[in-house]
Amino acid sequence: MKILVAVKRVIDYNVQIRVKEDGSGVVTDNVKMSTNPPDDNAIEEAVKIKEAGKASEVVAVSVGEEKAQETVRKALAVGADRGILVKADGSIEPLAVSKILQKIVEKEKPDLVFMGKQAIDDDCNQTGQMLAALLNWPQATFASKIEVKDKSLEVTREIDEGLETIEVNVPAIVTCDLRLNEPRYASLPNIMKAKKKPIEQIMASDLGVDTKPRIEQIKVEEPPKRKAGIKVASVEELVQKLKNEAKVI
Amino acid sequence: MSRETMEYDVVIVGGGPSGLSTAIKLKQLDSNLNVCILEKASEIGAHILSGNVFETRALDELIPNWRELNSPIKIKVTKEKFLFLGKKKSLSWPTWLLPAVQQNHKNYIISLANLCRWLAEQAEALGVEIFPGFPATEVLYNEDGSVKGVATQDMGIDKEGNKKDSFEPGINLLGKVTVFAEGCRGHLGKQLIKKFELDKGKDPQQYGIGFKEIWEIEEKNHTEGLVMHTAGWPLDNNTYGGSFMYHAENKQIFLGYVIGLDYRNPHLSPFDEFQRFKTHPAIKKIIEGGKRISYGARALIEGGFQSLPKMFMPGALLIGCDAGTLNMPKIKGSHTAMKSGIIAAETIEEHLKSNKDLSIFDEKLKSSWLYKELFQARNVKPSFSWGLILGIIFTGLDQILFKGKLPFTLRHKHADHETLKPAKDMPKIDYPKPDNIITFDKTSSVYLTGTNHEDNQPVHLKLKDPNLPISYTLNEFDEPAQRYCPAGVYEVQKENDINKFVINAQNCIHCKTCDIKEPSQNITWVTPEGGGGPKYGNM
C-alpha cells in the first residue's frame, strides 16, 4: 500500500499574527514558518502504518512557493520516503490544491491520501473533501483513530456529538485531527538522511491546473479587542450585571 | 537506547553573529572542512535580539561584496542625537562633543536577527550544516580532559523526567575543534570558564539587561536613519543605563533600554524602568499614535577588556559574547563578535592543517583591531561606578582627550549578583500602572515574543536550594527575581498565608538575567527542549 500525504507550510502557531497596515493580508516577512500542525499528525500516522508493515511507501507532497520545500524536507526527516513539491506562487485556494493533488494522485496512484483536517492559516477545511469529490473516492474526515484492515480502513471521527466510527474502502482520503497521535521529533541523523532523499519539483502550470484565485479578498483586519474583565464583589452584583448589563439572564 | 554519534571537523554551538562568521570563514579557508552549527531556537534568528546600529568592519572582511548579495543592511545612519533626560525636561548634547566611538555616521540601522538569517543563507550555500531546534546541553570531554564535542538535548521527556512516547534521544556531536558561541552567559560557556579557569586573573564579568520594542509610528514622527540615545531619567545617578531609539525602515523604530545588572536597589524593576522611560515627553511625543509590534529582552556583556576570559582551551574556543567581546562605550557587539569568529576560524584552520596549538588564537586576537578597540574602551564602564555625572566627565577625558590611552586600568570590583543591598535599606519604587497604549505589563509583552515551551517537560530553571527563595531571598531582598525577570517567570504567591515561589518556565525568553543576578547564584539556566523560547521576527 502506498500513502500520499499532503503537507502545507503555514505561519508557526506560536507567532503573533500581524495584519498588514493596508489590510491586504498578514505579515509573513521574517516570520517563523512551520508545517501545518494536523499535517504533522497525518505524516506521523502514515509513517506509523508503514512501520507496522502495512504500507510500502510514504510520499509527502506540498503545493506552494520554493520555500515549501522545507516543509516537505521536514516530512522526509520524520519518515516519509520521498517528496514532491508542486511550485505555485501567490494564494492557492483549496480548489486549486485539490485539482493539483488529483493530478498527483493520477500520477502516483496511491491507495490512501492523508492530510490535516484543515490548515491553521485560512481554516478552510475543504481540500480533503474536494479531492474526494474530484477522485470520486470515499472520505473519512477528522480522524482521531485509524485502523488499517484488509481492503478498508476503520476510522474514528471527531464529531460534535462525540465519536463516530466508520469504515471506508481503499482507496480513500483521510483528513486527520490533532488527537490522532503525537508527532515524533525529527532526530539529527534523520534530518541528515532527509537531505539526501529525493524531492521532485513540478510546476503547477505543467499539470494543466489553473491556480488563479476564484475568491476575491476584500479586506483583512484584526479581530476587535476584547474588553478587560472585571471583578465583582458579591453574587448579587454578578446577577445584577448579568441581568442588566450583559442581559443574558 | 544508546546515543548516536556524528563527527565533524568543527562543531559550532550557537547560530549568532560569531558562530555564523566562524562557519563562513572556515568554509572560505577550506571548503572541504565539515562544519555544523547547533542552534537552540526553532530557526536562526529567533533568539537574536539586538539594537542594532551595525558597524560593517568585520563583515567587510568576511564578505567584502555583501552589498551585492541582497543583505538586510540597508538603512544608513543619517542623523544622531544624544539627550540627557530630567524628569520632564531634556537636554540635547551636541554630537561633536561625543567620543568618536559613539559617532555612527558610517553605520547602519539593522535587525541583527535578519542579518543572522542572511548569514545563515551564506553559510549554507558554502556547505555548512545548520541544525536549528537542537540545543547543546552538555560538553563532552576526552580522557585527557580536552573538549571532544557536545551532546544535544534528549527530546520528549516529561515533567518528572520520564520518557514520553515521542522520546528521541540526543546525540553526541564530536568535533576536532568545538566552538562555543552561545552569546552572553552561555550555559556551557559558563561551565567551561569555570572548569578551565579561563577567567583566572580577570575581573568579574559585568552584565546588563537590554529591552527592545519595535514600534510602528506615525509618519510625521519618523525620520529614517535617525539614531538617538538618552541617559538620565528615570534612572538615578547611581544606576548605569540608558536608552536607544533607532528609526528603521517602514515607519518602524527600534526602541530599547539597557540597565547595568550591577544595580543595588532590589526594589528596582528594569522592565518597569523601561516602561516608565517611554512616558517622558521627549519620547512619548514620538511614539504617541503608534503601535507596539514586538517586545523582547536579553542580557548583554558589559565587562569588556578587564573581564574578557581566555578564549581558548584544549579542543575548544569560546567566542563572541559567550566570552564577552562587546564594546560597551560603542554600545556595539555584533562587529566584535563577528571578528572573534573570523579569528577563531583562522586559528582552527592553522590548527587542523599545521597542527598548531589553539593558543595561537590569543596572539591573533592581540594583534587584531578587536583587541585594540576593547583596550581603548576599557575604562568607561568602571568609571560609571562613581555615578552618571562623574562617569560622563571621566569618559569625556578618557575617550576624547586621551582616546583610551590613559596609563591605568580601572577595575570591576564586584560580580553583579553581589551588588544588591538589603531590601529594608533601600527605597521602594512606586511604578505607575501600565496604560496599555504607551506602557504595558509583562504578560501582554511576553505574548508578543511568541514564546512557547512544550508544557510537559522538566523545568529548565534549576534551583540549587528550592527553599532559599522563600527562606532567605524573600526576606533579605524581597525576592528580586519577581522584578529582574523581564518575562514574569518568577512569582511569589501567597496561599493560605504561606509564601510559595512559583517558576512559570514556559514564559522564559532565554535572557539569562536570573542566572546572572540571583544574589546567591541559586538559579541555573539550562537548555529546555529544542525549539522552545521566543520566536523573534526582525529583532
pLDDT of residue B221: 97
Look at residue B389 in the predicted model and tell me its pLDDT: 84
| Beta partners for residue B245, in sequence order | B228, B255
Q: Provide CB contacts within 8 A for B113, sequence distance 6+.
A: A30, B45, B46, B48, B49, B50, B536, B537, B538, B539
Concatenating the DSSP letter of every residue in A202-236 gives: EEGGGGT-----SS------PPPPPPPP---SSHH
Backbone angles phi, psi at B233, to 5 degrees: -50, 140
Give dist(CA B33, CA B288) in Å, integer. 52
Instruction: Say if A236 is an interface residue toward chain B (CB within 8 Å).
Output: no
Q: Which residue of A has its CA nearest to B46?
A: A32
Measured CA to CA, the distance from residue B388 to residue A126 in angstroms comes to 63
C-alpha–C-alpha distance, residues A104 and A102, integer Å: 5
pLDDT of residue B101: 75
pLDDT at residue A30, as a whole number: 85
Reduce the DSSP state of residue B82 to 3 states and report it.
Answer: strand
* Interface confidence (ipTM) of the complex: 0.85
- Placement of cell 488499517 in the chain: A148
* Chain B residues within 8 A of A31 when measuring between CB atoms: 537
Angstrom distance (rounded) from CA B31 to CA B22 = 13
User: Which whole number is the average pLDDT over B133-152?
Assistant: 97
B chain contacts of residue A184, beta-carbon cutoff 8 Å: 156, 166, 168
Mean pLDDT of chain B: 95
**Disruptive mutation site among A10, A27, A30 for chain B (greatest number of B CBs within 10 Å):** A30
Alpha-carbon distance of B459 to B506, in angstroms, equals: 8
Quick check: A12 contacting B, CB < 8 Å? yes
First to last CA, chain B: 39
| Distance (Å) from the alpha carbon of B255 to chain A's nearest alpha carbon | 19
Q: Which residues of B touch A34 (CB under 8 A)?
A: 42
B134 contacts A32? CB cut-off 8 A:
no
* Residue whose grid cell is 491507495: A111
pLDDT mean over A116-135 = 97
Q: CB-CB: which of A12, A183, A189 is closest to B4?
A: A189
Cross-chain Cβ contact B293/A18 below 8 Å: yes
Q: What is the C-alpha separation between B531 and A146, in angstroms, rounded? A: 29
Give the Cα separation of B303 and B206 in Å (integer): 4
Tell me if B42 and A32 make a contact (CB, 8 A cut-off): yes
Q: What is the pLDDT of residues B163-193, one digit of tens each?
A: 988 888 999 999 999 999 999 999 999 999 9
Say which residue the cell 516530512 belongs to: A75
Contacts of A16 in chain B (CB under 8 A): 447-448, 450
Inter-chain touch A30–B114, beta carbons under 8 Å: yes
CB contact set of B533 (below 8 Å; sequence gap of 6+): B40, B41, B46, B47, B451, B452, B453, B508, B509, B510
Mutate to test the interface with A, among B137, B535, B536 (most CBs of A within 10 A): B535
pLDDT in tens, B279-310: 999 999 999 999 999 999 999 999 999 999 99
Cβ-Cβ contacts under 8 Å, A32 against chain B:
42-43, 46, 450, 535, 537
Residue A185: which of B117, B131, B166 has the nearest Cβ?
B166
Which chain A residue's Cα is nearest to B532? Answer: A14
- When CB atoms are compared, the residue of A14, A184, A192 closest to B450 is A14
The share of chain B scoring above pLDDT 70, in percent, equals: 100
Min Cα distance B274 → chain A (Å) is 22
Closest residue on chain A to B538 (Cα): A30
Q: Do A30 and B4 touch (CB under 8 A)?
A: no
State whether residue A192 sits within 8 Å of chain B by CB: yes
Contact indicator for A80, A47 with CB cutoff of 8 Å: yes
CB B482 within 8 A of CB B489: no
Distances (CA, A) of B317 to A116, B309, B325: 45, 11, 13
The answer, for A183 touching chain B at a CB cutoff of 8 Å, is yes
Domains of chain B: residue spans and CATH: 5-67+113-202+309-377 (3.50.50.60), 435-525 (3.30.70.20)
In this model, does residue B1 exceed pLDDT 60?
no
Q: Dig out the grid coordinates for A140 from the structure.
A: 473519512
The phi and psi torsions of B274 (rounded to 5 degrees) equal -60, -45
Q: What is the grid cell recorded at A66?
A: 520554493
For residue range B449-468, what is the model confidence (pLDDT) as tens digits? Answer: 999 998 899 999 999 999 99
CA distance A187 to chain B (A): 7
Backbone angles phi, psi at B192, to 5 degrees: -70, -40
DSSP state string for B232-287: ETTS-TTS-EEEEEEE-STTEEEEEEEEETT---TT--HHHHHHHHTTSHHHHHHH
Q: Which residues of B touch A21 (CB under 8 A)?
A: 216
Nearest chain A Cα distance for residue B9, angstroms: 16
A16 Cβ under 8 Å from any chain B Cβ? yes
Which of A182-191, B205-214, B278-287, B419-428 is least confident? A182-191
Question: Contact B447/A187, CB-based, under 8 Å?
Answer: no
Q: Which chain A residue has the Cα nearest residue B454?
A: A14
Closest to B478 measured CA to CA, from B426, B419, B416: B426
Residue B342 has pLDDT above 70, yes or no: yes
Beta strand B172-180 pairing with B5-13? parallel
Q: Which residues does chain A have within 8 Å of residue B117's beta carbon, measured at their own beta carbons?
A: 30
At CB < 8 Å, which residues of chain B contact A? Answer: 4, 6, 42-43, 45-46, 111, 113-114, 117, 129, 131, 134, 152, 155-156, 164-166, 168-169, 171, 173, 216, 293, 447-448, 450-452, 530, 535, 537-538
In this predicted structure, what is the pLDDT of residue A95? 96
**Contacting residues of B for A51, CB less than 8 Å apart:** none
pLDDT score of A228 more than 80: no
pTM of the model: 0.93
Q: Tell me what the pLDDT averaged over chain A comes to.
A: 94
- The 10s digit of each residue's pLDDT in A149-173 is 989 999 999 999 999 999 999 999 9
- Measured between CA atoms, how close is A21 to chain B, in angstroms? 10
From A70, which residue of chain B is nearest by alpha-carbon distance? B43
Q: Which residues contact B215 (CB under 8 A, 6 or more apart)?
A: B252, B253, B255, B287, B290, B291, B292, B293
Q: Residue B387 has what pLDDT? A: 86
Rounded CA-CA distance B285/B273 in Å is 18
**Is B447–A16 a contact, with Cβ atoms under 8 angstroms apart?**
yes
Give residue B133's Cα distance to chain centre: 19
For residues B457 and B135, is the Cβ–Cβ distance under 8 A? no
The pLDDT of residue B12 is 98
- Rounded CA-CA distance B385/B387 in Å is 5
Distance CA B531, CA B298 (A): 17
A79 touches chain B (CB under 8 A): no
CA distance A59 to A84: 7
Mean pLDDT of B30-56: 97
Kindly report the nearest CA distance between residue B266 and chain A, in angstroms: 31
- Which residues in chain B have their CB less than 8 angstroms from residue A191's CB? 131
By the 8 A CB rule, do B385 and B374 touch? Answer: no
3-state secondary structure string across B210-236: EEEEEEECCHHHCCCCEEEEEEECCCC
Q: Which residues of chain B are within 8 Å of residue A188 when distances are taken between CB atoms?
A: 4, 6, 131, 134, 152, 171, 173
Q: What percent of chain B is predicted at pLDDT more than 90?
A: 87
Query: Which residues contact residue A208 at a Cβ distance below 8 angstroms, ignoring those fewer than 6 apart?
Result: A103
**Mind listing the pLDDT tens digit for each residue in B190-218?**
999 999 999 999 999 999 999 999 999 99
Angle, CA of A194, A198 and A201, to the nearest 5°: 125
CB contact under 8 A, B131 and A14: no
Cβ B114–A31 below 8 Å, yes or no? no
Cα angle, residue B458 at apex, residues B457 and B463 outer, rounded to 5°: 155
Domain A2-244 in CATH: superfamily?
Answer: HUPs (3.40.50.620)
Q: What is the pLDDT of residues B114-142, one digit of tens each?
A: 999 999 999 999 999 999 999 999 999 99
- Asked if B216 and A14 come within 8 Å (Cβ–Cβ), the reply is no
- Whether residue B153 contacts residue B530, with contact meaning beta carbons closer than 8 Å, is answered with yes
Residue A57's pLDDT band, with cuts at 50, 70 and 90, is very high
Q: Does the pLDDT at position B100 exceed 90? A: no
Q: Which residues of chain A does B119 touch, with a Cβ-Cβ cutoff of 8 Å? A: none
C-alpha cell at B280: 517622558
B283 vs B306: CA distance, rounded Å? 35
pLDDT at residue B110 greater than cutoff 70: yes
**Residue B46 to residue A30, Cβ atoms within 8 A:** no
pLDDT digits (tens, 9 = 90+) for B59-88: 999 999 999 999 999 999 999 999 999 998
User: Chain B contacts of A187, Cβ < 8 Å?
Assistant: 4, 168-169, 171
Residues in a beta bridge with A112: A3, A172
The alpha-carbon gap from B406 to the nearest alpha carbon of chain A, in Å, equals 45
Does residue A236 surpass a pLDDT of 60?
yes
Q: Which comes out higher in pLDDT, residue B402 or B311?
A: B311
